[in-house]
Amino acid sequence: MHTPVSPPVRPEALRIALIDDNPVRAAILEEGLREAGHADITRLTTSPTLLRDLSRLDPDMVIIDLGNPSRDSLEQMFQISRHVPRPVAMFVDQSDASMIEAAVEAGVSAYIVDGLKKERIKPILDMSISRFKVFAKLKSDLAQARSELEERKVVDKAKGILMQRRGIAEAEAYALIRRTAMNENRRILDVAQSIITAADLLK
C-alpha cells in the first residue's frame, strides 16, 4: 500500500512565498529575508485565489504575516498549512491559547506572536524547516504503521480462511500464502486479498 510522502524541502536557495496585505510589514520581512540570503521572494496578498496561486508558485516555504487578524482570517491561513505540504511560518501581533493550539493542529511550523523583527527572520526560517521535517517524518511513520496494520489484518483474515477451509494450522496457512506469492511473483498482501475475494465469491 503506497504511503504518501511530503515533497522534500529543496536544499538550494529557497523559493519563498510571502503572504502579506501590509506593504510596510512586508518590506520588513523582505529585508530580513534578503539579509538572510534569500532573494527568490514572491509577495502574495490574501485573495480567493490564494491557494491556487500558491500551488502554481510551488514555493519551498510560506511566510504569512497577519498583524492583528480576525479569527476568520486566521482560519483561512490555517487552511494553507493544511493543504500546502511546505514549512509555514506565521507572524501575528496578538493571539490566545486557543488560536495557538489551532495553529499547531493545522501544522503551522512556526507561530510567532509579536515577533516581527528582521533580525529574527533567519532563525525562524531555520526552526520552521527543521520542525517541518520532523513532523513530516512523524506523519510518514504513522501512515506507514497504519498501512502495515491494515495489511496484517488482510493477511490474518486470509490465514483464517485457509485454516477453516483446509483444516491446517496458522503457521502452515501463512507458509502456503508465502509460497504462492513467491511462485507467482506477487506480494503476500495481493495473494491474501485474492483468497479473501475468492472466499467471498463462494459464499
Which pLDDT belongs to residue 192?
Answer: 92
* pLDDT of 95 over the 90 cut: no
| Structural domains of the chain ordered from first start | 16-116 (3.40.50.2300), 145-201 (1.10.10.10)
User: Can you tell me whether residue 67 is helix, strand or coil?
Assistant: strand
* Average pLDDT of the residues in 106-125: 78
> When comparing pLDDT for 142 and 185, which is higher?
185
Does the model's pTM come out above 0.95?
no
Q: Which three cell numbers stand for residue 31?
A: 529585508
Q: What value does the mean pLDDT of the chain take?
A: 82
193 has a pLDDT exceeding 80? yes
Highest mean pLDDT among 57-66, 71-80, 129-138 belongs to 57-66
Read off the pLDDT of each residue in 185-192 and give the average, rounded to a whole number: 92
Closest to 7 measured CA to CA, from 71, 66, 86, 64: 86
| Predicted confidence (pLDDT) at residue 64 exceeds the cutoff of 60 | yes
pLDDT band at 178 (very low <50, low <70, confident <90, very high): very high
Task: Answer yes or no: is pLDDT of 59 > 50.
Answer: yes
Four-CA torsion 72, 74, 76, 80, nearest 10 degrees: -170
Which of 147, 151, 117 is CA-nearest to residue 5?
A: 147
Band the pLDDT of 12: cuts 50, 70, 90.
Answer: low
